[in-house]
Structure 1
Amino acid sequence: MDFEEAADALYAAPAADFIATRNELAKQLKADGDQLGSTRLKAMRKPTVAAWVTNLIARKLPDELDDLLALGDEFREATADLDGDRLRELTPRRHQLLDKLAKEAAQVASDEGQKVSADVGQKLRETLDAALVDPAAGDAVREGRLSSALRHVGFGVVDEAGEPTNVTPLTDERRQAARDRRKAQQAEADEETAAARKKREAADRKEEEREAAEKAKAKKAFEDAVAAAQEAESTVEDLDTQLDNAREALAEAQELVRRLGGELDDARRAARDAQKESREARKRYNRL
């Protein structure tokens, strides 16, 4: 298994099993000699529910997803051509296709045991719309490895009716200020991402430690139960031996009682006969 296969398998797994699956696949890559692939896989983030459902669509509804992305190509062409009539024609199709795919996605997710709440449904729709709008987002959705839902700010610059609108050109100062703001925002986002990654890694470690502790506890309980069972079995064997010995001794005692009883009866008869013979001898003596 190479890294690409492992990544596909990871994001195809149930969300609840993500951490365990990631650890197992990373170990397998490392065992296969792919240390870099193992490290890359460990860095992959657990998908949110909306991202997991989107990844599910890429695998379960690939044709429907391709239809959505193809419609995005038509939108981009109409926008580039400033074709307002075409944009107005495509906009209802955009909403219809998004509604249809979101509904089918909810059903597919339900079949997999995942309920789609209103909030998740909204994020799912925003992600699909982003895939329609942006080719890079479309490629990411088609790949099926999202860890978070996506959003977009619109198709080019159009009004509510879909007509192209004029944009006030930026002066050099405003353009530079905009660039500075984007850099500052990106730096802030990078910092937040690093903090979130550290927090996620700490949570993952804590989860792994908890699982390890539970396994150790379960193993100890199992070993104690086995030891107790073995001890009980030994006790049963000892008692069985004692019982057999007691039964044998009882049988011997009963045989001795029977034999002594017979001898006692014989002795009593002999005593009576001797007494009788003694009395008769006394009588004969007295007659002399």
Structure 2
Amino acid sequence: MDFDEAATELYGVPAADFISKRNELAKQLKADGDAAGSARLKALRKPTVAAWVANLVAREKPDELDDLLALGDELREATADLDGERLRELTPRRHQQIDVLAKAAQKLAADAGIKISADVGQKLRETLDAALIDPAAGEALRDARLSSALRHVGFGVVDESGEPSNVMPLTDDRRRRADERRKKRSQAGRAAEEAPESESSGSSETAAEARKRAEREEAERLEAEQREAERLEAQREADEAVAAAEAAESTVEDLTTDLAEARERLEAAQEEVRRLGDALDEARKEARAAQQTSRDARKRLNRLGRATRSES
């Protein structure tokens, strides 16, 4: 199991089981030798109710979600082309498809024993709309790993607290593919810059000059690869440091919650001790009263016995 598989499994469990499942999967990743992945997993946030429902829709209704995101592509194209007629045609579909997914979400949540409040329903619709408008938000929702509902506010996407949302965190695979694309673009640009020089040299370039140029190009390529490798290593270390810090923060939050629950249990236990102490005091009073009653009865019995003997 790698980090992506663990994260996908984690966000598929009921919200009530999130923390225990996160600890279990993080321990498994660490045991498998992926300490960085374990730290990253520990840093993942428990989803809000709205985010959990949105993730549920993404997992259970992927075709309908794809239709919504495809409509977003059409809307962006029509907007870029200033095609007012096309926009007027697409806008009603936008509301219809969001309605379809919102209704599906209510049924899915009900089947899972979750009742969607009006506030959660509104946040879900805002998340679906943000996914339609913003491609990165759409991809994040498709991954079904949201920890917060999303909202598009004109300049970007924010989470439920109103803070800018990092809706497209790069996985290791995505980061590697992005680096490869940048390297290819860099090599293509360098080749384009050097092409005129090669063409102008033509047959006048001697074998020695050609060899020196090839050596220089190879040295530059190796140096660029070394710089890129160093940059990737630095980025990896930075990611691990951030993940470790986030994991520590998450651990503090969990411990704070545990401490609050422990305090509640302690207060309940102290209250029970006080109740039992009062009951013990009352029992002791009743026992003393019973002892006194017994002594009084014995005295009366002794007096009665003496009186009977005197009469005889």
* TM-score with structure 1 setting the length: 0.57
Q: 2:152 aligned with 1:102, yes or no?
A: no
Question: 1:206 matched to which residue of 2?
Answer: 256
In structure 2, relative to structure 1, the CA distance for the partners of 1:16 and 1:138 (3 Å cut) is: same
How far, CA to CA, are the matches of 1:27 and 1:209 in structure 2?
22
Residue 15 of structure 1 contacts residue 52 of structure 1 at CA under 8 Å; is this kept in 2? Answer: yes
Counterpart of 1:41, as a letter, is: L
Question: 2:126 matched to which residue of 1?
Answer: 126
- Residue 203 of structure 1: CA displacement? 2.8
Question: 2:12 matched to which residue of 1?
Answer: 12
Question: 2:296 matched to which residue of 1?
Answer: none
Counterpart of 1:203, as a letter, is: E
Question: 2:153 matched to which residue of 1?
Answer: 153
How far, CA to CA, are the matches of 1:212 and 1:8 in structure 2?
31
Question: 1:253 matched to which residue of 2?
Answer: none
Structure 1 alignment gaps of length 5 or more: 157-184, 187-195, 215-288
Counterpart of 2:63, as a letter, is: D
What are the superposed Cα offsets for residues 204-237 of structure 1, whole Å, 9 maximum, x if unpaired?
A: 11345678999xxxxxxxxxxxxxxxxxxxxxxx
What are the superposed Cα offsets for residues 10-54 of structure 1, whole Å, 9 maximum, x if unpaired?
A: 000100111111011101111111100000000000000010011
In structure 2, relative to structure 1, the CA distance for the partners of 1:115 and 1:148 (3 Å cut) is: same
Q: 2:62 aligned with 1:62, yes or no?
A: yes
How far, CA to CA, are the matches of 1:150 and 1:201 in structure 2?
25
What are the superposed Cα offsets for residues 123-165 of structure 1, whole Å, 9 maximum, x if unpaired?
A: 0000000000010000000000000011113599xxxxxxxxx
Counterpart of 1:205, as a letter, is: L
In structure 2, relative to structure 1, the CA distance for the partners of 1:40 and 1:97 (3 Å cut) is: same
Secondary structure of the equivalent of 2:253? Answer: helix
How far, CA to CA, are the matches of 1:101 and 1:20 in structure 2?
30
- Residue 58 of structure 1: CA displacement? 1.2
In structure 2, relative to structure 1, the CA distance for the partners of 1:100 and 1:15 (3 Å cut) is: same
Secondary structure of the equivalent of 2:151? Answer: coil
How far, CA to CA, are the matches of 2:56 and 2:250 in structure 1?
23
Residue 39 of structure 2 contacts residue 247 of structure 2 at CA under 8 Å; is this kept in 1? Answer: no
Q: Which runs of 4+ in 1 moved over 2 A?
A: 153-156, 196-203, 206-214
Question: 2:21 matched to which residue of 1?
Answer: 21
Secondary structure of the equivalent of 1:113? Answer: coil
- Residue 106 of structure 1: CA displacement? 1.0
Residue 127 of structure 1 contacts residue 149 of structure 1 at CA under 8 Å; is this kept in 2? Answer: yes
Counterpart of 2:115, as a letter, is: K
How far, CA to CA, are the matches of 1:134 and 1:74 in structure 2?
12
Residue 133 of structure 1 contacts residue 155 of structure 1 at CA under 8 Å; is this kept in 2? Answer: no
Question: 1:141 matched to which residue of 2?
Answer: 141
What are the superposed Cα offsets for residues 91-147 of structure 1, whole Å, 9 maximum, x if unpaired?
A: 111011111110111111111111110000000000000000010000000000000
Question: 1:170 matched to which residue of 2?
Answer: none
The Cα RMSD (Å) is: 2.8
Structure 2 alignment gaps of length 5 or more: 157-162, 165-245, 265-312
Pairing 1:42-57 to 2, within 5 Å after superposition: 42-57=42-57
Residue 19 of structure 1 contacts residue 46 of structure 1 at CA under 8 Å; is this kept in 2? Answer: yes
Percent identical across equivalent pairs?
A: 72
Residue 140 of structure 1 contacts residue 146 of structure 1 at CA under 8 Å; is this kept in 2? Answer: yes
Structure with the larger RCO, 1 or 2 (CA within 8 Å, 6+ apart) = 2
Counterpart of 1:34, as a letter, is: D
- Residue 85 of structure 1: CA displacement? 1.1
Counterpart of 1:102, as a letter, is: A
Residue 76 of structure 1 contacts residue 155 of structure 1 at CA under 8 Å; is this kept in 2? Answer: no
How far, CA to CA, are the matches of 1:130 and 1:8 in structure 2?
21
Counterpart of 1:97, as a letter, is: Q
Residue 3 of structure 1 contacts residue 41 of structure 1 at CA under 8 Å; is this kept in 2? Answer: yes
Residue 43 of structure 2 contacts residue 248 of structure 2 at CA under 8 Å; is this kept in 1? Answer: no
Question: 1:80 matched to which residue of 2?
Answer: 80
Residue 133 of structure 1 contacts residue 154 of structure 1 at CA under 8 Å; is this kept in 2? Answer: no
Residue 129 of structure 1 contacts residue 152 of structure 1 at CA under 8 Å; is this kept in 2? Answer: yes
Secondary structure of the equivalent of 2:103? Answer: helix
Pairing 1:111-260 to 2, within 5 Å after superposition: 111-154=111-154, 201-208=251-258
Residue 52 of structure 2 contacts residue 147 of structure 2 at CA under 8 Å; is this kept in 1? Answer: yes
Name the count of aligned residue pairs. 178
In structure 2, relative to structure 1, the CA distance for the partners of 1:155 and 1:34 (3 Å cut) is: closer
